[in-house]
């Protein structure tokens, strides 16, 4: 009877040991799981940063277009819609699917949204737009001041730009 008594005792001892191993295994699995999730998240962060999807520049200007004295709509989606995205030389500075200078609505708001800090000029915007100025005399005022070398004008935040086009006839 004494032997019978001892047998289950030793069995339960090894049972406790196994339960201990299982518990340690479960804890280890949870810890590894947490580490993997954290690593995935930091990888995602690194990826989005290496894609340079972080905009370091985001400024706006208001542009109005007058053709022979008539207010004319500045189209929406300049630098997004292919038909008004004529120059692609600056595309790598913009977000995916849009030039670094673009419009969203037809409200004349130019968005300069760039992954790099650089000077953006009125001429670069006009090139992206592909606005055909042939046959027009061009007069540009910026914040009310006439600017003759408007193509090289560096766009600043909050500027108000008026493009006056006059037919040569
Ligand atoms: Cu914007």
* CATH number of domain containing 144: 3.10.20
pLDDT at 146 over 90: yes
Residues 37 and 63 in one domain: no
Match 């019978």 to its residue by tokens.
4
Residues 18 and 65 in one domain: no
Which residues have a beta carbon within 5 Å of ligand 1, which is an ion?
Answer: 111
Q: What is the DSSP letter of 6?
A: H
pLDDT at 162 over 60: yes
Which domain-ending residue is among 50, 65, 84? Answer: 50
Ligand 1 centroid vs 115 CA: distance in angstroms? 13
> Count of CB atoms within 10 A of residue 140's CB?
20
Q: How far is CA 93 from the centre of its chain?
A: 10
* 34-67 residue pLDDT tens: 778 777 776 555 444 445 468 999 999 999 999 9
Given a contact cutoff of 8 angstroms between Cβ atoms, the answer to whether 57 and 112 are in contact is yes
Q: SS3 for 28? A: helix
Residues 34 and 90 in one domain: no
Average pLDDT, the chain: 87
Residues 85 and 140 in one domain: yes
Reported as type and span, the H/E element at residue 12 is: helix 2-50
Residues 114 and 159 in one domain: yes
Beta bridge partners of 141: 146, 162
Residues 156 and 84 in one domain: yes
Ligand 1 centroid vs 114 CA: distance in angstroms? 10
Domain count, the chain: 2
Residues 41 and 82 in one domain: no
Q: How high is the pLDDT of residue 154?
A: 98
Q: How high is the pLDDT of residue 15?
A: 72
Residues 63 and 111 in one domain: yes
Residues 7 and 62 in one domain: no
Residues 150 and 101 in one domain: yes
Residues 154 and 107 in one domain: yes
Ligand 1 centroid vs 60 CA: distance in angstroms? 6
Ligand 1 centroid vs 124 CA: distance in angstroms? 17
What the block records as the tokens of 23 is 């518990």
Give the domain range for residue 28.
1-50
Which is it for the CA torsion 129, 159, 140, 90, positive or negative?
negative
Residues 36 and 72 in one domain: no
* Cα–Cα distance list, 58 to 61, 103, 115 (Å): 11, 12, 9
How far apart CA 83 and CA 166 sit, in angstroms, is 24
Which domain-ending residue is among 19, 34, 50? Answer: 50
Q: How high is the pLDDT of residue 112?
A: 98
Mean pLDDT across 23-30? 84
Ligand 1 centroid vs 46 CA: distance in angstroms? 25
How far apart CA 16 and CA 111 sit, in angstroms, is 68
Ligand 1 centroid vs 159 CA: distance in angstroms? 14
Ligand 1 centroid vs 67 CA: distance in angstroms? 26
């Amino acid at each position: 009877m004494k032997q019978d008594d001892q047998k289950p005792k030793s069995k339960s001892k090894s049972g406790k040991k196994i339960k201990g191993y299982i518990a340690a295994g479960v804890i280890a699995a949870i810890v590894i799981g947490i580490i993997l999730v954290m690593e995935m998240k930091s990888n995602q962060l690194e990826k989005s940063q290496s894609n340079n999807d972080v905009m370091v520049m985001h400024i706006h200007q208001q542009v109005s277009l007058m053709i022979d004295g008539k207010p004319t709509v500045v189209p929406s989606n300049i630098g997004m819609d292919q038909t008004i995205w004529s120059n692609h030389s600056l595309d790598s500075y913009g977000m995916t699917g849009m030039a670094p200078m673009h419009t969203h609505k037809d409200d004349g708001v130019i968005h300069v949204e760039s992954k790099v800090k650089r000077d953006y000029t009125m001429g670069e915007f006009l090139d992206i737009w592909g606005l055909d100025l042939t046959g027009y005399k061009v007069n540009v005022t910026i914040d009310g001041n006439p600017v003759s070398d408007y193509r090289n004008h560096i766009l600043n935040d909050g500027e108000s730009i008026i493009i006056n086009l006059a037919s040569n006839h």
